[in-house]
Amino acid sequence: MGRERDHDGVRPASDTSIEIDFYFQGKRCRERIKLKPTPANLRRAAQHRAAILDAIDKSTFDYAVTFPHSKRAPTLTALPGRALTVTTYLDAWLERRRANLKASTQNGYTKVINGHLIPAFGHRTLADIKRIDIKTWAAGLSAGNKAIANILSVFRAALQEAFEDELIESNPLAGWVYRKAEPPKESEDVDPFTAEEQTAILAALDGQGRNLIQLAFWTGLRTSELIALEWGDVDWIKGNIHVRRALTNAARKTGPETTKTRAGTRTVKLLPPALDALKKQRTASFLKGQEIFQNPRTLERWGGDQPIRKSLWAHALKKAGVRYRYPYQTRHTYASMMLSAGENPMWVAQQMGHSDWGMIRRVYGRWMPDENIQSGGLAVDRFWSGKTDHKADQTSQFSPKKQST
């Protein structure tokens, strides 16, 4: 019977039975089928075992149906995830998470699930999803690695919870990150406004609009942080403003939320132009409500950055004759101004809400002079008021430092 042992996982058990050996749900299983162990029957048993392994791989194997008289059948039932579709699970998972998510995060998760995951995997059963399926799908996306990572992070979190709830045997995305080859990026999307452009933009604005944009240029606050500011956040004595909240488009119905990160909750020093903008804004909204900035058309808090872009920002740049850049560039402008003036990168990082200055060095390093002078707004104040020995005009200070050759 030497040839009878050539079949992996199949062997004669007696004169009238053949044993099939396989693993299911992490356990080794040995089951007998009533067949005389002839060469033909051993080949037949090997084919039967192959079908079992294929069903296990596809999460369609039902132990009780295949081996109805087995003592193992009651304890080795199919996982609940076998019959649960990805669409059903992800919808329920998002609903469970809803109470603990910020509106902006919930909005992002919803876009990922409805826009990417369900169209690709929604018809599949949860336990049927394998890493190779996800890898093949990700390779066909036109998005970059960062966008793909954001999509997969949502899927990974959902699958991890399914694993912890014993709906699937393992999380196919655990400990794995997809990366495809990408050409090196020439530079970050940093395109600050020059001093001349700032002057032209502010001249094209008036009232609350001008005050808002002037404060943006001189604090580096995100638009979502600016429109969430309230008068109680201003410390007039110390000359600071406390950033505690943000109002995104997704949260416009529920109101301002906490900042995105712990470092985002911070105290920002009010440099003279920023303080001037707030003093002028007092006459517009100080006695009318909590929010500092209001939509001039409605005299209510701005509902997000989209209304600002459409009704204020784009019009101002067009009127000023300034090449269009999105409002976030005011934040890049602030960083480049501070660093060009010699401010300490760590101080700039703290002002902008970063936990360390690594991102400042990576993104804005070309605006950092070789020697830093005293930080805390003193340097840039002297720089812009003409009290320093810098010979360059205010336009040239936005240019990256020249590399020595």
Q: What is the pLDDT of residues 77-95, one digit of tens each?
A: 655 556 678 998 899 899 8
For 32-41, 247-256, 382-391, which range has the lowest pLDDT when averaged over its residues? 382-391
Rounded Cα distance, 72 and 245, in Å: 57
- Please indicate whether residue 278 or residue 263 has the higher confidence score (pLDDT): 278
Residues 269-286, mean pLDDT to the nearest whole number: 94
At residue 362 the predicted structure's pLDDT band, cuts being 50, 70 and 90, is confident
Amino acid 392: pLDDT: 39
Rounded Cα distance, 43 and 157, in Å: 43
Whether the per-residue pLDDT at 206 is higher than 60: the answer is yes
3-state class (DSSP) for residue 23 = strand
The chain-wide mean pLDDT, for the chain, equals: 82
Query: Which CB contacts under 8 angstroms, 24+ apart, belong to 183-186?
Result: none
Amino acid 391: pLDDT: 38
Burial of 75 (0-12, 13-18, 19+ CB in 10 A): exposed
Domain 82-164, CATH: 1.10.150.130
H or E stretch including 301?
Answer: strand 300-301
Whether the per-residue pLDDT at 256 is higher than 60: the answer is no
Amino acid 255: pLDDT: 52
Domain residue ranges in the chain: 2-78, 82-164, 195-398
Reference 144, options 98, 185, 112, 174; nearest CA is: 185
Residues in the chain: 405
Could you tell me what percent of the chain has a pLDDT over 90? 44
For 8, list phi and psi in degrees, rounded to 5.
-65, 135
Query: Which CB contacts under 8 angstroms, 24+ apart, belong to 359-364?
Result: 360/335, 362/188, 363/188, 363/190, 363/335, 364/190, 364/332, 364/335, 364/336, 364/339
Amino acid 390: pLDDT: 41
Amino acid 386: pLDDT: 56
Q: 293-316 pLDDT, tens per residue?
A: 998 888 888 887 888 998 899 999
Domain 195-398, CATH: 1.10.443.10
At residue 244 the predicted structure's pLDDT band, cuts being 50, 70 and 90, is confident
Amino acid 384: pLDDT: 59
CA angle 302–303–305, rounded 5-degree value: 85
Cβ atoms of residues 103 and 88 within 8 Å: no
Tokens matching residue 56? 């296990």
3-state class (DSSP) for residue 22 = strand
CA angle 7–11–12, rounded 5-degree value: 135
For 100-104, 210-214, 268-272, 335-339, which range has the lowest pLDDT when averaged over its residues? 100-104
Q: 150-200 pLDDT, tens per residue?
A: 999 999 999 999 888 878 888 999 988 888 776 555 445 889 999 999 999
